[in-house]
């Protein structure tokens, strides 16, 4: 079994899509090992996305991610990272496959409804950013 971090981003929470997205997560066979609603400060968002600090979209991304509540989850399944990234679809919803979360729920590349870890090391860091070991079931 593998774990990954998932985020239902502020755009999706604002549009009341957290429930349908969580339902899709469960329907896909993921176990939800932890879940929390958060409202990141700008500083928290900058810390979480620090790896992108030099990228041109960093300021816009952290402003967006601190613009409203989000839902953070720890998902567990065999090959969870790949499975979650497949369910999410491409970052650009215009390029996402039919039936993926981003194709159905994203509004743009930035307002793309969900986030997911891209590697086991990233997942470990991202899960630890939001959850202590005692919170994981």
Positions annotated as catalytic residues are 115
C-beta of residue 34 within 8 angstroms of C-beta of residue 109? no
Query: Which residues make beta-bridge pairs with 2?
Result: 77
3-state secondary structure at position 70: strand
User: 35 forms bridges with which residues in the sheet?
Assistant: 73
Encoding tokens for residue 36? Answer: 């929390």
Q: H-helix or E-strand containing 123? A: helix 120-130
Three-class DSSP category at 42: helix
- Tell me which DSSP letter residue 135 carries: G
The structure tokens listed for 30 are 């993921």
């Amino acid at each position: 079994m593998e774990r990954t971090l998932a985020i239902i981003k502020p755009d999706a929470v604002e549009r009341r899509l957290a429930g349908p997205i969580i339902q899709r997560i469960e329907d896909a066979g993921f176990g939800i090992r932890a879940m929390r609603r958060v409202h990141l400060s700008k500083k928290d968002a900058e810390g979480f996305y620090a790896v992108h600090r030099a990228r041109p979209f960093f300021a816009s991304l952290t402003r967006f991610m601190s613009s409203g509540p989000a839902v953070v989850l720890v998902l567990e399944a065999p090959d969870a990272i790949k499975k979650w990234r497949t369910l999410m679809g491409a970052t650009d919803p215009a390029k996402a496959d039919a039936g993926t979360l981003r194709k159905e729920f994203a509004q743009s590349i930035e307002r793309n409804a969900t986030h997911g870890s891209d590697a086991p090391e990233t997942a470990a860091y991202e899960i630890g950013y939001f959850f202590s070991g005692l919170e994981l079931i």
